Amino acid sequence: MSLLEVKELKTWFPVKRGLFSPVRYVKAVDGVSFSMEKGEVLAVIGESGSGKTTLGRTILRLIKPTSGRIVFEGKDVTYLPESELRWYRFSTAMVFQDPFSSLNPYHTVQYILEEPLILRGVDPKERYEFVIKALEEVKLVPPEDFLRKYPHMLSGGQRQRVGIARALITRPKFIVADEPVSMLDVSIRAEILSLMRSLQTKYGITMMYITHDIATAKYLSDKILVMYAGKVVEYGRFRDVIKEPLHPYTQALIEALPDPDPSNRFKVRKVPPGEPPSLLNPPSGCRFHPRCPYAIKGKCDKEEPKLIEVKSGHYVACWLYNK
Nearest partner of 56 among 236, 240, 142, 180, judged by Cα: 180
Q: Among 30, 36, 49, 245, which residue sits at the site for ligand ATP (rule: CB under 6 A)?
A: 49
Q: Among 17, 21, 23, 48, which residue sits at the site for ligand ATP (rule: CB under 6 A)?
A: 48
Question: By CB under 6 A, is residue 52 in contact with ligand ATP?
Answer: yes
Choose the binding region for ligand ATP from 51-59, 189-197, 218-226, 298-306 (rule: CB under 6 A).
51-59
Residue 210 corresponds to which amino acid? I
Nearest partner of 42 among 231, 236, 194, judged by Cα: 236
Q: Which is nearer to ligand ATP, 51 or 285 (CB)?
A: 51
Q: Which is nearer to ligand ATP, 53 or 251 (CB)?
A: 53
Quick note: the x/- pattern for ligand ATP over 141-170, rule CB under 6 A, is ------------------------------
Cα distances from 26 to residues 51, 102, 122, 230, 320, in angstroms, run 10, 26, 42, 9, 28
Choose the binding region for ligand ATP from 45-53, 147-155, 237-245, 291-299 (rule: CB under 6 A).
45-53
Shortest CB 54 distance to ligand ATP, Å: 3
- Rounded to whole angstroms, how far apart are CA atoms 38 and 148? 36
Total residues interacting with ligand ATP, rule: CB under 6 A: 13
Question: By CB under 6 A, is residue 51 in contact with ligand ATP?
Answer: yes
Q: Among 50, 92, 160, 221, which residue sits at the site for ligand ATP (rule: CB under 6 A)?
A: 50
Question: By CB under 6 A, is residue 13 in contact with ligand ATP?
Answer: yes
Question: By CB under 6 A, is residue 58 in contact with ligand ATP?
Answer: no
Q: Which is nearer to ligand ATP, 54 or 110 (CB)?
A: 54
Quick note: the x/- pattern for ligand ATP over 194-213, rule CB under 6 A, is ------------------x-
Shortest CB 184 distance to ligand ATP, Å: 16
Choose the binding region for ligand ATP from 49-57, 145-153, 191-199, 290-298 (rule: CB under 6 A).
49-57
- Which positions from 263 through 322 interact with ligand ATP, judged by CB under 6 A? 279
Choose the binding region for ligand ATP from 43-51, 133-141, 244-252, 302-310 (rule: CB under 6 A).
43-51
SS3 labels along the chain: CCCEEEEEEEEEEEECCCCCCCCEEEEEEEEEEEEECCCCEEEEECCCCCCHHHHHHHHCCCCCCCEEEEEECCEECCCCCHHHCHHHHHHEEEECCCCCCCCCCCCCHHHHHHHHHHHCCCCHHHHHHHHHHHHHHCCCCCCHHHHCCCHHHCCHHHHHHHHHHHHHCCCCCEEEEECCCCCCCHHHHHHHHHHHHHHHHHHCCEEEEEECCHHHHCCCCCEEEEEECCEEEEEEEHHHHHHCCCCHHHHHHHHCCCCCCHHHCCCCCCCCCCCCCCCCCCCCCCCCHHHCCCCCCCCCCCCCCCCEEEECCEEECCCCCCC
Shortest CB 208 distance to ligand ATP, Å: 12
Question: By CB under 6 A, is residue 132 in contact with ligand ATP?
Answer: no
Sheet holding 92-95, edge to edge: 92-95, 174-178, 206-211, 41-45, 223-228, 231-237, 314-316, 308-311
Question: By CB under 6 A, is residue 54 in contact with ligand ATP?
Answer: yes
Question: By CB under 6 A, is residue 26 in contact with ligand ATP?
Answer: yes
Shortest CB 26 distance to ligand ATP, Å: 4
Q: Which is nearer to ligand ATP, 228 or 319 (CB)?
A: 228
Positions in the binding site for ligand ATP (CB under 6 A): 13, 26, 28, 46, 48-54, 212, 279
